[in-house]
A and B are shown apart, each in its own frame.
Chain A
Amino acid sequence: AQTVTQSQPEMSVQEAETVTLSCTYDTSESDYYLFWYKQPPSRQMILVIRQEAYKQQNATENRFSVNFQKAAKSFSLKISDSQLGDAAMYFCAYRSEDFGNEKLTFGTGTRLTIIP
């Protein structure tokens, strides 16, 4: 079974600065998908960024980028130019590439606080 670990329960960053959230996972599969989701106080889970394991290039989405290290099974999220609206819980998630095993496995989350 796959597991996802987020070792930072809480992080804080000054507005306009850069912060990196850590995520490691454990799997025996070679093809899979990794995601970062954001959960603001409204509680809706919003997709931030996704990465296909077969792609070597790190995904980027505006101010959000990942550092995907497949051999190390590491998938960190970097938020540049942090904004007040980035304050939320951030969840790292793993999804198998196997047909019939479409579920997401989540980490425990990192609460990000933005300091004005």
Chain B
Amino acid sequence: ETGVTQTPRHLVMGMTNKKSLKCEQHLGHNAMYWYKQSAKKPLELMFVYNFKEQTENNSVPSRFSPECPNSSHLFLHLHTLQPEDSALYLCASSQLIGVTGNTIYFGEGSWLTVV
């Protein structure tokens, strides 16, 4: 069992739909991340949250809206996506730099297909 769980594992949505991806970490970490993995591209960082505060938005379009209600949960709200947004979305967590255990741990990902 992974310390970072993502739901749903697979999602198919139309371009006009609104859906959300959910991530939960059970590792006691205080930083959480969303990464996007597309075919033939390096993993792209989307958002970083430290202690529930967003510290990085890597020029992500506003049709992706993150939410971090507490240090254990992270959501990615999806609205009016495009087919090119189809990808694997990976959630991750870690302790902050300067604290022990700075390795980033990943969930199993949510496969998103936009039709």
Contact = CB atoms under 8 A, between A and B. Distances in A.
Given A100-B55, A108-B41, A45 B97 contact: no
Interface string B29-67: 001010000001111010010100001100000000000
A62 interface: no
A33 interface: yes
B102 A102 contact: yes
Contact of B106 (A44, A97, A105, A107): A44
A73 interface: no
Contact of B97 (A4, A35, A96, A108): A96
B100 interface: no
Given A95-B102, A99-B97, A107-B42, A44 B2 contact: yes
A45 B90 contact: yes
Contact of B105 (A47, A98, A101, A109): A47
B109 A102 contact: no
A84 interface: no
A106 to B, nearest CB: 4
Contacts of A4: 42
Interface string B76-112: 0000000000001010101011100011111111010
Contacts of A33: 102
A109 B37 CA distance: 11
Contact of A95 (B41, B104, B109): B104
Given A43-B109, A96-B97, A106 B42 contact: yes
Contact of A101 (B42, B90, B92, B97): B97
A43 B88 contact: yes
Contact of B56 (A46, A97, A103): A103
Interface string A33-56: 101010000111111001000000
Contact of B107 (A37, A44, A103, A106): A44
A64 B45 CA distance: 27
Given A35-B103, A45-B106, A103 B48 contact: yes
Nearest first, the 3 closest Cβ-Cβ pairs linking A and B are A45-B106, A44-B108, A106-B43
